[in-house]
Amino acid sequence: MTTDGGTPDATTHESGYDSELRRLDVVFRSACDVHVRDRVLDIGCGTGRTTRAAAHAASDGGALGVDVSSSAIERARALSEGIDNVAFACADAQTHPFAPGSVDLAISRFGTMFFDDAATAFTNVAQALRPPGRLVMMVWQAAERNEWQTAIRRALGGETPSAAFSLGDPGQTSQVLEAAGFVDIGFADVDEPVYYGPDEETALAWIRSFVSTDELLERLGPDGAEAAMGRLRTTVAEHLRDDGVWFGSRAWIVTARRG
């Protein structure tokens, strides 16, 4: 998945999405604090970059990455050949029958906001954790705090989708996690920009790869789409720095443990 819930082709995911989150990924890995014997569950793993990093840290344990995208899982397996302590499953963490108490650490980098039923999903994840197993996830803060969302949506003339920001309210998210059996819930602010490419054309191509972008442009019709792309090009140019195209973003690192 991308920042706004769009879905670029799995073959571009590794270089595009992971590159986009390069600054946030450093914060996420540090927060996960994977221990050498941990059994790690990576929720919404995409093509498996975060799963492989967890497996490397858990050298005497292992990591399982799950994602609902079969193409992403296929790519993850191909990229992970030769790594003995990593595995992937095309599965929905909301309903997958994980063995109770089989996980020491559940992690997710922007993969938990899209659950159809968050209460059911986190209850399922909690039962997979052995007490006092840890949950560490990175989620977007409110849409208005994310420049990549507001600036691009303004240029394209579309409304802000709610799913990507479903866990942005700490109070509501805490209630969901507490009901699922988690305790010691914490939120740490992450203020790091997202990277859209080294130049304007790369950034525009990346934004155009989002399914949500196509949907918006189709609704506008040919003339409206052309005007929207002109506005988008201007927006991208305004965010070009010497080291590439960057948009401001705000996220939470959410931590908890199973009670």
47-60, pLDDT tens digit by residue? 999 999 999 999 99
User: In this structure, how many other beta carbons lie within 10 angstroms of the beta carbon of residue 258?
Assistant: 22
The mean pLDDT of 64-74, rounded to a whole number, is 97
Amino acid identity of 41?
A: L
Domain annotation covers residue 116: yes
Domain annotation covers residue 223: no
**Does pLDDT of 251 surpass 80?**
yes
Q: Round to whole Å and give the CA distance between 38 and 45.
A: 17
Domain annotation covers residue 185: yes
Domain annotation covers residue 153: no
Q: Round to whole Å and give the CA distance between 258 and 238.
A: 45
167-204, pLDDT tens digit by residue? 999 999 999 999 999 999 999 999 999 999 999 999 99
Number of domains into which the chain is organized: 1
User: What sign for the dihedral angle of Cα 14, 140, 166, 256?
Assistant: positive
Give the global pTM: 0.91
The three-class DSSP label of residue 60 is coil
Domain annotation covers residue 35: yes
The rounded percent of the chain whose pLDDT value lies above 90 is 84
Domain annotation covers residue 114: yes
Domain annotation covers residue 240: no
Domain annotation covers residue 180: yes
Q: CATH number of the domain that 51 lies in?
A: 3.40.50.150
- Domain range for residue 48? 10-142+162-195+250-258
